[in-house]
Chains A and B, each alone.
Chain A
């Protein structure tokens, strides 16, 4: 068991970046599925929000995959995660329109928290990695910032309703 929040090796960093990729893929797949399931109930703001969320997640995934590739590790295919999301969607799908917004808020907050913890864990470690540490941190901080903006966007739509 590791009590400290530190990233100590390339292997551990690659694994955490893989988890980041999976979280992005979950967002992308669920947003796409919500849109398909309930698009008739959405106003323009929400439809745009879900479309942009899926697109932003794809962009984040690509940025994480570049780091994973440089760590000589493999990423996790979107198709595989989409299949898993589809398999469990019946049990986990939001019941209504407000549920979709709440699900999207959870997506953004979870992603923000994940990147925030990961940045802190890397900052708290003096380990060296085979990829440039500043590049890793810059990428993760950039994505974290966009997740924070995502939280604000969803919250604004919820407050307007």
Chain B
């Protein structure tokens, strides 16, 4: 997933949590980057018609931005579900975060052919717990450990 898509996903989730425009600081915190870096990328997303930034309020995704953010979130759900259910990774949330930059959407699509994902995905993604609400707890076993 490229950097722009990671930003779009983060803005989308912060908007859901804050129920309005996403504060730049919250977006920066979600991505563990500096506010300056977040501002720079938000400016680029604005330039591409994917986001709108309003001073003192924050950033909101445009319709096109929402479509891309939801696709990115679906890919992220696939990675989490694959780690949890196929590789039985206990720390699947943390590992998904560390791997998402290296996993392309085409790879996620292939992994999607062996997992059982809810048709309502990504609406079942819970921003608070950073995971699909249907994702069951898995056994504490991990092949890479």
Contact = CB atoms under 8 A, between A and B. Distances in A.
Given A2-B97, A5-B101, A11-B144, A19 B32 contact: no
A57 interface: no
A76 B143 CA distance: 8
Q: Report the interface size class on chain B.
A: 20 to 34
A124 to B, nearest CB: 10
Contacts of B95: 15
B79 to A, nearest CB: 9
A117 B12 CA distance: 26
B109 interface: yes
A155 interface: no
B6 A26 contact: no
A81 B97 contact: no
Interface in B109-139: 109-111, 113-116
Interface in A21-68: 22-23, 26, 30
Contacts, number: 105
B86 A3 contact: no
B113 A26 contact: yes
B27 to A, nearest CB: 11
Most A Cβ at <10 Å: residue of B33, B101, B144: B144
Interface in B81-102: 82, 86-87, 89, 95, 97-102
Contact of B87 (A8, A12, A18, A71): A18
A1 B144 contact: no
A110 B3 contact: no
Nearest to B95: A15
Given A1-B31, A88-B114, A16 B102 contact: yes
B114 A81 contact: yes
Contacts of A73: 143-145
Interface of A: 1-8, 11-12, 14-16, 18-19, 22-23, 26, 30, 71, 73-76, 80-81, 84-85, 87-88, 92, 106-107, 109-110, 113-114, 117-118, 121
